[in-house]
Amino acid sequence: MSDLFANLAMGFSVAFSMKTLFWCFVGVFLGTFIGVLPGIGPLATISMLLPVTFHLDATSAIIMLAGIYYGANYGGSTASILLNLPGTPSSAVTCLDGYPMAKQGRAGVALMATTLASFIGSSIGILLFTGFAPALAEIGLKFGPAEYFAMMLLGLVAASTVATGAPIKGVAMVVVGVALGLVGTDVQTGQQRFTFGLLPLADGISLVALAMGLFGIAEVINSVGRVAQQKSAYKASVLPWTRDFWRAMDPGREDWRRLPGSSVRGSAIGCFFGALPGTGPTISAFLAYALEKKISRTPNRFGRGAVEGVASPEAANNAAAQTAFIPTLTLGIPGDVVMALMLGALIIQGIQPGPRLVAEHPQLFWGLAASFWIGNVMLVILNLPLIAIWVAILRIPYSILYPSILVFLVIGVYSVNNSVFDVVTCIVFGLVGYVMSLMRFEPAPLLLGFVLGPLMEEHLRRAMLLARGDPMVFLERPISAAFVAVTAGLLLFALWSSLKPKRAEGFSAQI
């Protein structure tokens, strides 16, 4: 326990430096801003700002990117409540009760509930992160190449089978992502693979171009027609820094009574599923909402403006956003697609996420943990008084907003390598991502496969070399065998779900 407090003290000394505080604020502010805008999300923002981190030290870079991530989870509920449009996928379930509350003139109550629930969920998630992440890292030190390969395989299969959409389509996207990750020069042999004679592909496909195309350009194209006719349900008379504003934000005695329990239950679900590779905030939010409706004595209130239907999923997705860093930093396995990009950002900085990260880079790890507390306090301060400003931003004509976003996306891609080829790659993947969305293919498993594919190949080769080519090494080692067994179980579950689509539809109807 004394070591924990000493490490946290070191972390706060790093986080309270003026430079780190500045980049933490930049991250949470941009995250909240992007979370408010429907159809954009943190991934496009992180991709666009990734070149900025090349000029920062690793600690400031990861703190800023992390602030964007959990800041977007804070701000994503705003558009869900005011416009019935989720700012982020994890805030989609907030629309179910948040928008009815706004139409009833209780938008301020809903926004207050989401802010408080988000802070509770984040705080519980941070406690879990600081208390258990180092212990998990010590266990990870016992892992060899076979365990790492089996664990990454489990993460990819879990991401594809547990995510939304048809599991078989998710598996297909993972395979495509792994194949794209093979493009470039083989590190061991020096041979170029799948470059088709194109010199810019010798270093592989740009992670930034791929992410910004699939999630930035594709989402903008998808969102233009969907949001053009939407109008805010927020009451213009409720302005910040006035007595009426604070009165409008007061949930009232009955809602105050319901808030703590629903927030804690949502936080527990978010902490558990956020720490599992392949799940993340979106699944946590929907499961929290389903649980809250299941245990309620008056389930007919849900969908009509129940405050628990807002607080529980918001607490869940923010808790999951914090605990998602546990497998990413301590095991090198991203829990969702944004964490995959975080992992890529650390690798670009020359830091290899994994069990040795806590011991080799303690200032980065504990500085990040301390910045979580600081960033969440900043978010509470930002989200309460600036609500009216976010609403004003939502009134910007989309004919101006989205072209501007596309311009910044292209500038971000070009600035990485000063390469027009990367811009073309980004545009191509943007069109591919749009077609994928029309065909109901999820792009997230593709990016996970793209990031983890090269690492899986490296550990597979090492394991086979140590075992002299014997594939039974993955079944002879207990930890590796356990991962392989769970992976096989998930694949069988995916096959069973595909053969029983009516069961899946029934589960969705219950949610």
Give pLDDT tens digits for 411-442: 767 766 778 888 888 889 889 988 888 888 87
| Distance of alpha carbon 208 from the chain centroid | 16
Picking from 6, 10, 2, the residue whose alpha carbon sits closest to that of residue 370 is 10
Please state, in angstroms and as integers, the Cα–Cα distance from residue 365 to each residue in 12, 66, 140, 210, following that order: 11, 12, 16, 28
pLDDT of residue 241: 55
| Mean pLDDT, rounded, of the chain | 77
Residue 278 has pLDDT above 70, yes or no: no
Task: Name residue 193's beta-bridge partners.
Answer: 184
What CA–CA distance (Å, rounded) separates 371 from 374?
5
Picking from 230, 260, 234, the residue whose alpha carbon sits closest to that of residue 245 is 234
Picking from 379, 263, 274, the residue whose alpha carbon sits closest to that of residue 311 is 263
Picking from 330, 386, 376, the residue whose alpha carbon sits closest to that of residue 353 is 330
Q: Which two tokens stand for residue 101?
A: 């509350």
**High-pLDDT (> 90) share of the chain, %:** 2
**How much is the average pLDDT of 477-502?**
77
pLDDT of residue 352: 78
| Distance of alpha carbon 348 from the chain centroid | 19
**How much is the average pLDDT of 451-472?**
83
Q: Which two tokens stand for residue 162?
A: 């547990």
Q: Residue 263, class by beta-carbon neighbours within 10 Å (0-12 exposed, 13-18 middle, 19+ buried)?
A: buried
Contact status, residue 277 vs residue 325, Cβ threshold 8 Å = no
pLDDT of residue 22: 92
Residue 368 has pLDDT above 50, yes or no: yes
Q: Residue 189, class by beta-carbon neighbours within 10 Å (0-12 exposed, 13-18 middle, 19+ buried)?
A: exposed
Q: Which two tokens stand for residue 227?
A: 């949001």
Q: Which amino acid is at 8?
A: L
**Which positions ≥6 away from 129 have C-beta within 8 Å?**
322, 323, 325, 326, 369, 372
Q: How many CB atoms lie within 10 A of CB 132?
A: 15
Contact status, residue 384 vs residue 115, Cβ threshold 8 Å = yes
**How much is the average pLDDT of 82-92?**
68
Picking from 102, 70, 68, 66, the residue whose alpha carbon sits closest to that of residue 83 is 102
Q: Which amino acid is at 383?
A: N
pLDDT of residue 347: 80
Residue 118 has pLDDT above 80, yes or no: yes
**How much is the average pLDDT of 95-112?**
79
Q: What angle do CA 214, 288, 291 make, to 5 degrees?
A: 140
What CA–CA distance (Å, rounded) separates 318 from 26?
19
Residue 324 has pLDDT above 80, yes or no: yes
Task: Give the count of alpha carbons within 13 A of 251, CB side only.
Answer: 23
pLDDT of residue 359: 76
Residue 231 has pLDDT above 70, yes or no: no
pLDDT of residue 233: 43
In the 8-state DSSP scheme, what is residue 477?
Answer: S
Residue 195 has pLDDT above 70, yes or no: yes
pLDDT of residue 226: 55
Residue 494 has pLDDT above 80, yes or no: no
Q: pLDDT confidence of 30, banded at 50, 70, 90?
A: confident
Q: What is the pTM of this model?
A: 0.65
Q: Which has more pLDDT, 225 or 202?
A: 202
| Domain ranges (residues) in the chain | 2-510
**Which positions ≥6 away from 57 have C-beta within 8 Å?**
none
Which has the minimum average pLDDT: 37-41, 77-81, 357-361, 471-475? 37-41
Q: What are phi and psi of 185, to 5 degrees?
A: -95, 130
Contact status, residue 37 vs residue 75, Cβ threshold 8 Å = no
pLDDT of residue 172: 83
What CA–CA distance (Å, rounded) separates 369 from 353?
15
pLDDT of residue 83: 66
In the 8-state DSSP scheme, what is residue 297?
Answer: S
pLDDT of residue 25: 92
Residue 232 has pLDDT above 50, yes or no: no
Task: Name residue 192's beta-bridge partners.
Answer: 185
Please state, in angstroms and as integers, the Cα–Cα distance from residue 493 to each residue in 20, 89, 111, 158, following that order: 45, 24, 38, 11
What CA–CA distance (Å, rounded) separates 208 from 205?
9
Is 296 in a helix, a strand, or coil?
coil
Q: Which has more pLDDT, 378 or 185?
A: 378
In the 8-state DSSP scheme, what is residue 37?
Answer: S
Residue 141 has pLDDT above 80, yes or no: no
Picking from 159, 181, 134, 135, the residue whose alpha carbon sits closest to that of residue 10 is 134
Q: Which has more pLDDT, 163 or 340?
A: 340
